[in-house]
């Protein structure tokens, strides 16, 4: 299962054009074609400010991560959650085995499924629901619609490309498929 779907990239050409503003006197003749200058700016060191035009390249996508990976994603306050699946509203309706990654112990899933079955078969107390919610394994996966930009993906890429969680490494491999990804990955 791909963890990234429904990818849309906006503003690439306009951001290339805008990256040429600092050296332009005639704005009418700026083009949307890449140049040595835009490549150099795109690959500028993170935090230098020279890659600021990457902020204008907006990326929207659906991301499926485990709860463990989502906890780490939330440290990035420059990636917006547009909407997401909800354990609070739908945990008793998920197919638990399908929704968990391969690292979740089957015994844990069996216990959780037992609690869900009890709830769905009549024990609809608040306490039972809380037992279910607080026993969801961190390997449970949810999908969220996300919006960010190339500059922020650059930070994520360099911080997570060798991460212990396979989801982060897969996410970084996906980044390498984006148009002009070399501005993010700083590769040639």
pLDDT digit string, tens, across residues 34-65: 989 888 888 888 888 889 999 999 999 999 99
Residue 13 CB contacts under 8 Å (≥ 6 apart), including other chains:
32
Q: What tens-digit pLDDT sequence spans the chain (188 residues)?
A: 799 999 999 999 999 999 999 888 888 889 999 989 888 888 888 888 889 999 999 999 999 999 999 999 988 888 999 999 999 899 999 999 999 999 999 999 999 999 999 999 999 999 999 999 999 999 999 999 999 999 999 999 999 999 999 999 999 999 999 999 999 998 65
- Distance between CA atoms of residues 131 and 112, nearest Å: 9
What backbone torsions phi and psi does residue 51 show, to the nearest 5 degrees?
A: -95, 20
Closest CA to 142 of 60, 73, 58: 73
Tokens of 106: 């089957």
């Amino acid at each position: 299962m791909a963890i990234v779907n429904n990818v849309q990239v906006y503003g690439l050409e306009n951001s290339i054009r805008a990256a040429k503003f600092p050296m332009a006197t005639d704005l009418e003749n700026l083009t949307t074609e890449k140049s040595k200058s835009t490549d150099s700016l795109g690959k500028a060191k993170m935090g230098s400010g020279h890659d600021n035009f990457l902020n204008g390249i907006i990326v929207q996508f659906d991301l499926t991560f485990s709860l463990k990976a989502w906890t780490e994603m939330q440290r990035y306050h420059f990636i917006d959650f547009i909407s997401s699946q909800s354990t609070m509203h739908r945990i008793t309706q998920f197919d638990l085995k399908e929704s968990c990654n391969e690292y979740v112990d089957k015994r844990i899933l069996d216990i959780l499924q037992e609690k869900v079955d009890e709830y769905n078969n009549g024990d609809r107390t608040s306490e039972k629901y809380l037992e279910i919610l607080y026993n969801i394994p961190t390997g449970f996966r949810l999908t969220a619609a996300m919006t960010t930009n190339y500059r922020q993906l650059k930070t994520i890429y360099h911080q997570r490309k060798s991460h212990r969680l396979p989801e982060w490494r897969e996410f970084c491999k996906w980044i390498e498929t984006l148009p002009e990804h070399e501005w993010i990955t700083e590769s040639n």
